[in-house]
């Protein structure tokens, strides 16, 4: 594995594969691979927002060692992957279509898909829209989202108001993007924290305030050199492509109207005990073959608890492959 390098004064060496640009579904995705020698046993890692395939750096070698061909794309809007101009080019049909086309590129009928945060939302959606292309599901942080009677942004606006960041991204397009672009280092440094002390809620758009805050709270999730990789990527790509995923939530609600809402594949759901993302009380209703695990961490699960995450995922995958499991 060749690395992104390291900054002077930081002793943390960063090993990560060199990327390949892969044409899929009318765009190009920047794809990182490990374990190519394990062709025939694919596992696809889907990052969240504002993340990067680099967020899976701790998992790639562990999964390759467990016998998997590990495929970690920067999804559209991120890194050096394509960033279409049209907002609607970031809906679930396009995002899941990219992943299906990625399987086609490698010649795979199906794969195990792993998602964190927004990546989990895409994996849930992919599984509903293209169930024959997904053999197992592993999602971190974001549980299955019940579709409900009203579109998601409409529901959030009624319950949480116009300053809630999902709503703000939709109702005030471009405003948050510009603040994040102007403060990329500060925003990402302040966002990627753990063990943050409790704080009283404040009026205003919390993520814009976070991007402008001069001092971070809590402890850093990653080293300075790891953070530098993320900052460099977003200074190049900007934040609009990733935020456009949020701007399609109501469109996604309509796209899923005719889909079977039940996830039939074996599923592993990993929560962080201190994550602010709400758990799903009725998860088993929609995901009947689910195993739920919780770790003592916040939102950035696979980066905060990499060894535990790797152990849980590889053990669960091994359990799925046992003959007794396959024959029921």
Report the catalytic residues. Answer: 117, 299
The string over 175-210, giving b where at least 16 C-beta atoms fall within 10 Å of a residue's C-beta and e elsewhere, is ebbebbbebbebbbbbbbbbeeeeeeeeeebebbeb
Taking a C-beta distance cutoff of 8 angstroms, is the pair 272, 299 a contact?
Answer: yes
- Alpha carbon 207 to its chain centroid, in Å, reads 18
**H or E segment and range at residue 95:** helix 92-106
Q: What is the distance between the alpha carbons of residues 328 and 316, in angstroms, rounded to a whole number?
A: 16
Q: What is the distance between the alpha carbons of residues 189 and 180, in angstroms, rounded to a whole number?
A: 12
What is the signed CA dihedral for 124, 127, 133, 135, rounded to 10 degrees?
A: 80
Which among 322, 315, 260 is positioned nearest to 291, based on CA atoms?
Answer: 315
Taking a C-beta distance cutoff of 8 angstroms, is the pair 54, 16 a contact?
Answer: yes
**H or E segment and range at residue 294:** strand 290-295
> Dihedrals φ, ψ of 190, to 5°?
-75, -25
Q: What is the distance between the alpha carbons of residues 275 and 60, in angstroms, rounded to a whole number?
A: 23
Which among 55, 60, 69, 56 is positioned nearest to 103, based on CA atoms?
Answer: 69
């Amino acid at each position: 594995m060749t690395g992104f390098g390291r900054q002077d004064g930081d002793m943390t060496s960063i090993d990560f594969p060199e990327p390949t640009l892969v044409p899929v579904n009318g765009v190009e995705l920047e794809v990182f691979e490990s374990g190519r020698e394990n062709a025939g046993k694919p596992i696809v890692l889907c990052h969240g927002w504002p993340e990067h395939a680099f967020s899976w750096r701790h998992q790639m070698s562990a999964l390759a060692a467990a016998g998997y061909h590990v495929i970690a794309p920067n999804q559209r809007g991120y890194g050096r992957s394509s960033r279409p101009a049209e907002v609607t080019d970031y809906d679930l049909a396009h995002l899941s279509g990219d992943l299906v086309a990625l399987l086609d590129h490698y010649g795979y009928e199906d794969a195990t898909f792993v998602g964190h945060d927004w990546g989990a939302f895409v994996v849930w959606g992919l599984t509903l829209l293209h169930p024959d292309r997904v053999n197992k599901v592993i999602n971190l942080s974001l549980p299955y989202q019940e579709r409900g009677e009203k579109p998601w942004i409409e529901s959030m606006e009624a319950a949480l108001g116009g300053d809630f960041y999902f709503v703000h991204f939709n109702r005030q397009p471009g405003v948050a993007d510009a603040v994040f672009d102007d403060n990329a280092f500060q925003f990402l440094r302040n966002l990627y924290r753990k063990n943050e002390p409790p704080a009283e809620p404040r009026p205003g758009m919390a993520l814009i305030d976070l991007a402008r805050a001069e001092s971070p709270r809590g402890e850093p999730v990653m080293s300075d050199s790891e953070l530098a990789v993320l900052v460099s990527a977003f200074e190049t790509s900007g934040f609009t492509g990733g935020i456009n995923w949020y701007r399609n939530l109501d469109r996604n609600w309509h796209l899923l109207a005719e889909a079977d809402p039940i996830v039939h594949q074996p599923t592993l759901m990993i929560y962080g005990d201190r994550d602010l993302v709400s758990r799903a009380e009725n998860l088993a209703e929609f995901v009947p073959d689910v195993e739920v695990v919780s770790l003592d961490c916040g939102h950035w699960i696979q980066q905060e608890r990499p060894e535990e995450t790797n152990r849980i995922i590889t053990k669960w995958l091994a359990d799925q492959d046992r003959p007794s499991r396959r024959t029921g």
